[in-house]
């Protein structure tokens, strides 16, 4: 299993598959490399998928280091470890914020950026939902129960087969005799709540730092985190941005929907 060491000595796991253009796929806040299992077979690239510190198969660390600036440094450390001068970034949710931070601090290392259901303004509604579940084990005791719960209650998603929900819960939890266990450090909750206690920073300068880089935005049409109004503002600032709103999807699209794949393939064409 491949690991590298962060600059502060934390062993971090990653996957490195395929060949060609290097694309680093950055997962959502509580998620891991499995975020991209559904889209990976459709991307003719070298897909590099790190687990953030404290998530997936990476080691846990001091929870005060579970921050976007530190995770940005970890991505750069991975690039250095792999000998990559430049790479494209496919960022889902938290991963998109890290992509924007990279554009602001290390733009010369980027080839292009694709954002999955994230922008420089985050809806308070979606943020409250995240705060309610982060760091807490689900009440369901088995993969089957958790998959059925999502199928019934994730109303922003339409026409998702139960098998897909089952794959999702297996990626995010470990089934044990005592119920489902998180595949991340529960103290991530403390990091997020403490960050939320501070005034929200203006992220538009980070988005504007993407200027000149091929850019795509994939948004769930029913997203409760990225509003259509914010996506419209992003499009106004970047008229050349590839944008799709995936019907029947909330936060976040799985990325193997036809609309998402079309956007990603058009984005990849611009990177060559």
* Chain segment 46-60, per-residue pLDDT in tens: 999 999 999 999 999
Q: In the prediction, which pLDDT does 195 show?
A: 83
Cis bond before residue 252 (omega within 30° of 0): yes
23-34 burial code (b ≥16 CB/10 A, e <16) = bbbbbbbbbbbb
Q: CB under 8 Å, gap of 24 or more: what pairs does 12-15 form? A: 12/50, 12/51, 12/52, 12/53, 12/58, 12/59, 12/74, 12/78, 13/50, 13/51, 13/56, 13/57, 13/58, 14/48, 14/49, 14/50, 14/51, 14/78, 15/47, 15/48, 15/49, 15/50
Span 162-196, pLDDT tens digits: 999 999 999 999 999 999 999 999 999 999 998 86
- Position 1 scores a pLDDT of 74
Predicted confidence (pLDDT) at residue 253 exceeds the cutoff of 80:
yes
Average pLDDT over residues 241-250: 98
Question: In the numeric block, which tokens belong to residue 160?
Answer: 């998702």
Residue 159's region, left for phi above 0, alpha for psi from -120 to 50, else beta, is left
Cβ count near 178 (within 10 Å): 8
Range of lowest pLDDT (6-10, 148-152, 162-166, 190-194)? 190-194
Model confidence at 272, pLDDT cuts 50, 70, 90, reads confident
- Displacement of CA 246 from its chain's centroid (Å): 16
pTM of the model: 0.97
Confidence check: pLDDT of 126 > 90? no
Where does the pLDDT of residue 68 fall: very low under 50, low under 70, confident under 90, or very high at 90 and above?
very high
Check residues 202 and 106 and name the one with the higher pLDDT: 106
Summarize the confidence of residues 65-79 as an average pLDDT.
97
Distance CA 184, CA 167 (A): 17
pLDDT at 131 exceeding the cut of 90: no
Residue 237's pLDDT band (boundaries 50, 70, 90)? very high
Pick one of 3.40.50.620, 3.40.50.2000, 3.40.47.10, 3.40.50.1820 as the CATH number of 3-135+201-271.
3.40.50.1820
Provide CATH 3.40.50.1820 ranges for the chain. 3-135+201-271
């Amino acid at each position: 299993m491949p690991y590298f060491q962060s600059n502060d000595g934390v062993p971090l796991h990653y996957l490195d598959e395929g060949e060609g253009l290097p694309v680093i796929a950055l997962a959502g806040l509580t998620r891991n490399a499995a975020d991209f299992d559904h889209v990976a077979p459709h991307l003719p690239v070298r897909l590099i998928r790190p687990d953030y510190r404290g998530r997936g198969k990476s080691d846990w660390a001091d929870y005060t280091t579970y921050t976007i600036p530190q995770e940005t440094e970890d991505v750069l450390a991975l690039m250095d470890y792999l000998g990559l001068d430049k790479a494209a970034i496919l960022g889902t949710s938290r991963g998109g914020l890290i992509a924007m931070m990279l554009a602001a601090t290390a733009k010369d290392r980027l080839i292009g950026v694709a954002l999955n259901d994230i922008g420089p303004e985050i809806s308070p509604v979606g943020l409250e939902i995240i705060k309610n579940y982060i760091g807490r084990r689900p009440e369901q005791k088995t993969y089957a129960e958790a998959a059925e719960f999502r199928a019934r209650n994730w109303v922003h998603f339409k026409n998702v087969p139960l098998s897909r929900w089952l794959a999702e819960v297996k990626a995010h939890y470990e089934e044990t005799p005592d119920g489902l266990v998180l595949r991340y450090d529960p103290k991530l909750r403390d990091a997020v709540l403490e960050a939320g206690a501070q005034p929200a920073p203006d992220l538009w300068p980070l988005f504007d730092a993407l200027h000149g880089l091929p850019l795509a935005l994939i948004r769930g049409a029913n997203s409760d985190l990225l509003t259509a109004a914010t996506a419209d503002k992003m499009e106004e600032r970047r008229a050349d941005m590839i944008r799709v709103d995936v019907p029947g999807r909330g936060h976040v699209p799985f990325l193997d929907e036809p609309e998402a794949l079309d956007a990603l393939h058009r984005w990849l064409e611009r990177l060559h």
